Amino acid sequence: MNTQIDSTIIDRKHGSNVLPETEINKATETIKPSKGSFSRRSFLGKSLAAGAVTMGAGLLANTLLAKEGNEKEKGHLKKGDAAILRFLAAAEIIEADLWQQYNELGGIQDSEVPGGTGNPAYTAAVEVLDSDMAQYIHDNTDDEISHFTFLNAYLASKGGEPVDLDQFRTLPSSQATGAQNIGRLTNLMQLTVDTSFWTRYRSDSLNPDFGDTLPQAIPTLAVGEHTAIPRTDADTTDPNFLQAIANTAGFHFAFIEQGGTSLYPSLAQRVTQDEALRILLSIGPTETMHFQTWQDKAGNAPPLTAVDPVTGVSVTFPDLNADGEILQTNLIMPEPTIFLNRTFPIVSIIRPTETDGAAMAALNALTADGLFIGQPPEFFALLTQLAQAADHARHGGRGR
């Protein structure tokens, strides 16, 4: 059965999750306190009939007109907010695609997250990091599907254009036991994983928002191309290499989710409407919950060195507890660090959260990760367009 996450599923979810526009309008109207008691129409009607619109009444009418205008805007997304939500929807579709691949091989396949049949050898290697990994992979996947489905449904409910990347689901699947053989948006078999998030959250004096570059936790994972899933069943025959694949996945899980952890607060600074802000502030911290879990589990990756039998690329997972606090595995609570200005006391924060260019920075990070190797120029053009539109959105009316 082909259970690919495609537009059919999205549409079905739209049908069950989204209120028809008339219902939304009805719901909105019930929270407009001034509507029934003192409407603009009744006020103007009486004034015109009396033929004596005083200056005071004129000002009042203008105020009421402006108020009604503001209320009408609640039913429609402002351009900048729509652009931010659209970029986030695209990012969530991408996240869902990669998590779906992990779930097919190493998670739990059920009606919530269908597709795939599981790869027992890979699942066991991933579970070396924690016995609950299959559940966590399933739940992270479920969350990402819900993120893009909600964002697209919300966009549609406000007359905005949902994001659809289905035409780019063309990259090959793993041929290993457990994976569906369907077109993918993302490539998990040629990853270059930036593991500087590890030291970034353990440093008390550096912050990328100040231009600082932090050292890699797993330097060999940050160069060359590494697979995070078995490409074929041959990849599961050498236990040492299979564990290297599982370790790679463990750090990749954290890399992806720390990206979301920064992206949402970075973009929230430029959202203008209360409800759109509420969406970003409500989804964003779930990415942080994912990241916190994953960085704890990545710390359990057993130290090893392995050479990819297909590509000849070597990877070494060192003992992270051998080199002091900047790598220590149980330091998973964010270390206070510099924020806004070095003259302030250090503070425990999400980092980075610079808003200028945040969407393009996220797209560049995903591209550098190797996730899109094999995608055509049209894919990058569309994603760049979505990111630039989001970055063009400015708080307070600028850039709209």
Binding site for Fe ion (CB under 5 A): 92, 95, 144, 147, 257, 260, 287
Residue 144 CB, nearest approach to Fe ion (Å): 5
Residue 280 CB, nearest approach to Fe ion (Å): 11
Place of tokens 């996947």: 141
Contacts by 68-76, CB closer than 8 A, 24 or more apart = 68/40, 71/32, 73/273, 74/28, 74/273, 74/275, 75/24, 75/25, 75/28, 75/158, 76/158, 76/159
Nearer Cβ to Fe ion (320/366): 366
Residue 264 CB, nearest approach to Fe ion (Å): 9
Residue 261 CB, nearest approach to Fe ion (Å): 8
Nearer Cβ to Fe ion (92/235): 92
SS3 of residue 254 by DSSP: helix
Q: Which of 34, 5, 296 is nearest to 141 (CA)?
A: 5
Continuous segment of H or E residues that includes residue 325: none
> How far, in Å, CA of 257 to CA of 270, rounded?
21
Nearer Cβ to Fe ion (134/366): 366
Residue 257 CB, nearest approach to Fe ion (Å): 5
C-beta separation of 362 from 284 below 8 A: no
For Fe ion, which residue has the nearest CB? Answer: 147
C-beta separation of 101 from 186 below 8 A: yes
DSSP string, 165-208: -GGGTTBPPP-STT-----BSS--SSB----HHHHHTT-SS--G
End-to-end CA distance of the chain: 45
Residue 293 CB, nearest approach to Fe ion (Å): 11
Q: Which residues contact 390 (CB under 8 A, 6 or more apart)?
A: 83, 84, 86, 87, 88, 267, 358, 359
Nearer Cβ to Fe ion (253/317): 253
Nearer Cβ to Fe ion (99/241): 99
Residue 92 CB, nearest approach to Fe ion (Å): 5
Nearer Cβ to Fe ion (147/184): 147
Nearer Cβ to Fe ion (257/369): 257
